[in-house]
Amino acid sequence: MEFGLSEDQRLLQDGVGRFLEEQSPLEKVREAADSNDFVPRGLWDGIRELGVPGILVPEDFGGMGLGFLDAAIINEMMGRHVAPVPFVGTSVMAPIALTLAGSEAQKQNWLPQIASGDAIVGVGVTERIGVRENAGVIANNGKLTGKALFVIDWSKADVYIVADRDNCLHLVAPDAAGLSSHVLNTIDKTRSVGELVFDNVEAEPLPGANVNIVARMIDAGRIMLAADTLGAGQMMIEKAVIYAGERKQFGRVIGSFQAVKHLCAEMTAALEPCRSLVWYAGHAMDEVPDDASLMACHAKSHLSEVGRFVARTSTEVHGGMGFTDLLGLHYWFKRIGLDRQLLGGPEQVRLEAARLQGWAA
Amino acid sequence: MDIELAKEDEAFRAEVRKFIAENLTRELSDKITVGASAERSVLRGWQKFLHKRGWIAVNWPTEYGGTGWTAMQKFIFNEEMALANAPRLSPFGLSMVGPVIYTFGNEDQKKQHLSGILSGDTAWCQGYSEPGSGSDLASLKTKAVRVGDDYIVNGQKIWTSYAHEADWIFCLVRTDETVKQQAGITFLLIDMKTPGIEVKPIISIDGLHHLNEVFFTDVKVPVTNRIGEENKGWTYAKFLLVNERTGIAGVPESKRSIVRIKELARKERLGDGGALVDDPAFRHKLSEIEIKLMGLEFTNLRILADAAAGPSSSTLKIVGTEVQQSLAELAVEAVAFYAQPFQKEQLLGTSNESPVGPDYGVATASAYNFGRAASIYGGSNEIQRNVIAKAVLGL
Ligand SMILES: Cc1cc2nc3c(=O)[nH]c(=O)nc-3n(C[C@H](O)[C@H](O)[C@H](O)COP(=O)(O)OP(=O)(O)OC[C@H]3O[C@@H](n4cnc5c(N)ncnc54)[C@H](O)[C@@H]3O)c2cc1C
Ligand SMILES: Cc1cc2nc3c(=O)[nH]c(=O)nc-3n(C[C@H](O)[C@H](O)[C@H](O)COP(=O)(O)OP(=O)(O)OC[C@H]3O[C@@H](n4cnc5c(N)ncnc54)[C@H](O)[C@@H]3O)c2cc1C
């Protein structure tokens, strides 16, 4: 067992990280957020050149054919730089659905487009986690009726993949008759979420879909959101440490007060072990299938809690500055906030973990 | 110790309830229930009702328009107001500068300012913090130089809440640079319309405008606007901070949050369809916070009964803000998904459409996000711990 990243993985993560650092500084993020642009052209083109959208797409279909740990460490960089680009839906959950459940023709049609970044795919599976009032999608003679909430990577989607109540998966064209689609502005303005309402909408089923495939999509999505929080949290710690080393009060830098040092140290002590948890969860998706669902739950719920702690503590270290739009710390704060709720909040996810271990009905 | 409510107190509670039933409109209480900020004009209307009834300055001495209530009456009043979702009045005049003026101000100042504070016709803001002087407030640099019967003020304040809506600002300024920092500070009342004052907005984490920078360029302030003596401002400033911190503890508001969270926990469904209130983990968290709050509430009663017996205002501030922040967290957990939509018009109360998700969900995330500031303003909780260590424990 080798508990660490390979040389290739390190290079991959550094490459994406460096690209985002250079091409997606806070001003760019702000620009995209202010104009509700969730697929900013220049940035997305660069992401495509790096091959990121095809990370999980098999090589036969033009992708990189890499694993979930690779995807997780990329998502970590996305969180670190609050990157306003599609990923969890388009580049992770959609390829799983198509690869495992799609017909040959569907794969031929969509996977290469996903790999090249030509297709954005919105993914609606939230109702498979917990049904909210009058949400949920029913398929009847190949037509969909109902409502899908919190569709991930909703903006500018070329196609949606939606799970119905029987765990069948469907491809839906954004301009399908009877489909109405609304943006859902969330506190996090760097990622797009939307709502789909179906009134007898024509859809194309993925023939191989079943409950396990939907579960795998959700597991993978959860690990990615955990990785996102890991990256965002890491950045919030670094920002707090830098600020503590610059800001002066009482004639000295605030980082010289033990109370402030300990806030920073506690954040570090809380977040660092999470890295291993997320890595192992990604690794389990590829190599230890029996552990995968449980690890996905653990990573998601634990990172939600630690992420919240880090977000509020880093804000505390920044004093009044932490609350300003100008400094922009809130982009990370809110990214962590949305990560927490997408694909199940920690309370829900812990319940699932208990069930997986046979402790709860 | 006698914790039974006396007959008179029961009668008083009935009187308060009657007043609320007759005067607190749905428009007002609904806004607060949703969590959105009530408009200023609406708030002023509410203040007028209370003022007319003589119930505006709960803690002030009767000679200045206070209620003269017993500790128990104050407690009952605050509790009923909170539970009925009455809007929280702006503290800057009523809880902060008002008591400074009637305690340390001269007769002219009392005449000039107290009635406007009571009626709500004059809105105040607090000019303490500066860019270089937050936790280290005493290092403040905004300078006031005496020229004849005026001070000429130059400098900058920051984080000034609602300065953009204020008629007056109470300010700490430096009048002596040659002595120990605390001994060179003066407390001034400044009319916001005075030439040379410029207010610039700071947009905060919730995307809204509460905070400001306030710039002073050769602002002429009559010496008659000085509270007490020159260079004694730190004493008055600290007196105010004690009141501010006690107010920030916000016990009645937290009690209201608990009621609200219980209500929504009855409506919210778990993933498997059960009600959130029936979830043991949720109940456990809520109970723990509720007990902490109860301790704080009883402590407040103890202080009302005998000020000397209470812990420092720093303790109240720490525990009170921790309770508020954990309640805000719990509300976000309770509303879950629907805490995440950001609906600015709903927050501002300017939308005619129904919100995404349940109406009680609208402000939960923003309240949580902005509420993180409670451990910063009024002196950060780290600073309060320093104060306890030094002043209470002698470390
Ligand atoms: C069960 C047990 C087993 C042990 N076994 C061994 C052993 O086998 N061999 C051995 O050599 N020793 C052993 N120790 C000793 C142990 O390493 C010391 O107790 C420890 O290093 C703390 O030293 P101290 O007790 O003198 O406390 P102090 O150093 O006096 O500390 C008292 C308190 O002050 C805090 N403190 C001190 N300095 C700072 C600072 N700069 N900043 C912030 N806080 C500070 C500490 O955190 C602590 O809370 C054992 C102790 C225990 C309790
Ligand atoms: C929402 C909001 C509203 C406000 N409204 C007003 C207002 O109306 N009027 C007004 O005058 N001010 C207002 N303030 C300002 C507030 O009082 C200051 O933000 C606060 O005093 C902290 O100062 P700072 O922001 O400069 O942070 P800093 O003092 O720079 O502190 C940064 C961090 O360092 C820590 N720290 C600093 N010194 C020490 C120390 N010695 N030991 C341990 N830790 C330390 C702090 O706890 C904090 O975590 C408001 C602030 C906020 C956030």
Q: B5: which DSSP letter?
A: P
CA–centroid distance, residue A249 to ligand 2 (Å): 10
Catalytic residue, candidates B80, B130, B244, B333: B244
pLDDT at A133: 63
Task: Return mean pLDDT, chain A.
Answer: 95
Question: Given this model, what pLDDT does residue B356 score?
Answer: 66
What's the angle, vertex CA B232, arms to CA B231 and CA B236, rounded to 5? 140
Q: State pLDDT tens for residues B159-187.
A: 999 999 999 999 999 999 999 999 999 99
B371 min Cα distance to partner chain A (Å): 10
Q: Output the CA B257–ligand 2 centroid distance in Å.
A: 25
Domain boundaries, chain A: 7-116, 121-205, 211-356
What is the structure's pLDDT at B34?
44
Residue for token digits 């990577």?
A153
**Hey, where are the domains in chain B?**
7-89, 124-232, 249-392
Cα distances (angstroms) measured from residue A83 to each of A17, A36, A151, B161:
10, 13, 18, 32
The answer to whether B124-232 and B249-392 have equal CATH topology is no
Ligand 2 atom with the shortest distance to the CA of B128: 11
Give the whole-number percent of chain B exceeding pLDDT 70: 87
CA distance linking residue B36 with residue B361, whole number of Å: 10
Nearest ligand (C-alpha, residue B165): 2
Q: Do B375 and A316 touch (CB under 8 A)?
A: yes
Kindly state the average pLDDT of the residues A55-74: 98
Q: Tell me, what's the pLDDT at B82?
A: 84
**Cβ atoms A228, A74 nearer than 8 A:** no
Residue B206 confidence (pLDDT) = 85
Determine the Cα–Cα distance for residues B155 and B132; give it in Å rounded to an integer: 11
pLDDT for res B152: 98
**A41-55, B234-248, B353-367: segment of lowest average pLDDT:** B353-367
- Least confident piece of the model among A55-64, A220-229, B364-373: B364-373
Q: What is the 3-state secondary structure (H, E, C) of chain A?
A: CCCCCCHHHHHHHHHHHHHHHHHCCHHHHHHHHHCCCCCCHHHHHHHHHCCHHHCCCCHHHCCCCCCHHHHHHHHHHHHHCCCCCCCHHHHHHHHHHHHHHCCHHHHHHHHHHHHHCCCCEEEECHHHCCCCCCCEEEEECCEEEEEEEEEECCCCCCEEEEECCCCCEEEECCCCCCEEEEECCECCCCCCEEEEEEEEEECEECCCCCHHHHHHHHHHHHHHHHHHHHHHHHHHHHHHHHHHHHCEECCEEHHHCHHHHHHHHHHHHHHHHHHHHHHHHHHHHHHCHHHHHHHHHHHHHHHHHHHHHHHHHHHHHCHHHHHECCCCHHHHHHHHHHHHHCCCCHHHHHHHHHHHCCCCC
Would you say residue A16 has pLDDT above 90? yes
Query: pLDDT digits over B321-334, tens only?
Result: 999 999 999 988 88
B336 with A188: Cβ contact below 8 A: no
Q: For domain A211-356, which CATH number applies: 2.40.50.140, 3.90.1150.200, 1.20.140.10, 1.10.8.420?
A: 1.20.140.10
Instruction: Output the residue whose Cα is nearest ligand 2's atom 51.
Output: B377
Write the CATH number of the domain with boundaries A121-205.
2.40.110.10
Could you tell me the pLDDT band of residue A176, with boundaries at 50, 70 and 90?
very high
3-state secondary structure of B258: helix
Residue B265 reports pLDDT greater than 90: no
pLDDT digits (tens, 9 = 90+) for A321-353: 999 999 999 999 999 999 999 999 998 899 899
DSSP alpha helix (H) spans, chain B? 7-23, 26-34, 40-53, 71-83, 91, 98-104, 107-119, 233-248, 251-267, 280-305, 313-335, 344-348, 364-371, 381-387
Q: Quick count: other Cβ atoms within 10 Å of Cβ B375?
A: 22
Q: Is the pLDDT of residue B36 over 60?
A: no
Residues in B closer than 8 angstroms to A195, CB to CB, are 356
Lowest mean pLDDT among A217-226, B138-147, B214-223, B370-379: B370-379
Higher-confidence position of B242 and A157: A157
Cβ <8 Å between A333 and B369: yes
A355 lines ligand 2 (CB under 6 A): no
Higher pLDDT residue, B280 or B128? B128
Q: From CA A307, how far away is CA A337, in angstroms rounded?
A: 8
Average pLDDT over residues B133-138: 97
On whether the A7-116 domain is CATH 1.10.540.10, my answer is yes
Q: Does domain B124-232 have CATH number 2.40.110.10?
A: yes
pTM of the model: 0.94
List pLDDT tens digits, range A226-269: 999 999 999 999 999 999 999 999 999 999 999 999 999 999 99
Q: Is B371 in the pocket of ligand 2 (CB under 6 A)?
A: no
The answer to whether the CB of A250 is under 6 A from ligand 2 is yes
Q: Which of the four CATH numbers 1.10.540.10, 3.40.50.300, 3.30.470.10, 1.10.600.10 does domain B7-89 have?
A: 1.10.540.10
| Residue A263 near ligand 2, beta carbon < 6 Å | no
Residue of A nearest to B364 (CA): A187
A129: nearest Cα among A303, A296, A290: A296
Instruction: Give the C-alpha separation, B373 to B332, whole Å.
Output: 16
Which segment of A67-81, A307-321, A346-360, B1-15 scores lowest on mean pLDDT? Answer: B1-15
Distance from the Cα of A40 to chain B's closest Cα (Å) equals: 21
What is the 8-class DSSP label of residue B395? -
Query: Token pair 């300055």 is at which residue?
Result: B57
Helix (H, G, I), strand (E, B) or coil at B124: strand
Question: What pLDDT digit, counting tens, does each position of A127-160 carry?
Answer: 888 766 677 899 998 899 999 989 999 999 999 9
- Percent of chain B having pLDDT more than 90? 56
From chain A residues 90-149, the ones with a CB under 8 A of any chain B CB are 126, 129-133, 149
The atom of ligand 2 lying closest to the CA of B162 is 8
Probe site for chain B from A187, A189, A304, A317 (most B CB atoms < 10 A): A187
Q: Does domain B249-392 have CATH number 1.10.357.10?
A: no
Whether B244 is a known active-site residue: answer yes
- pLDDT at position B3, please? 66
d(CA A19, CA A27): 15
Tokens found for residue A263: 């806030």
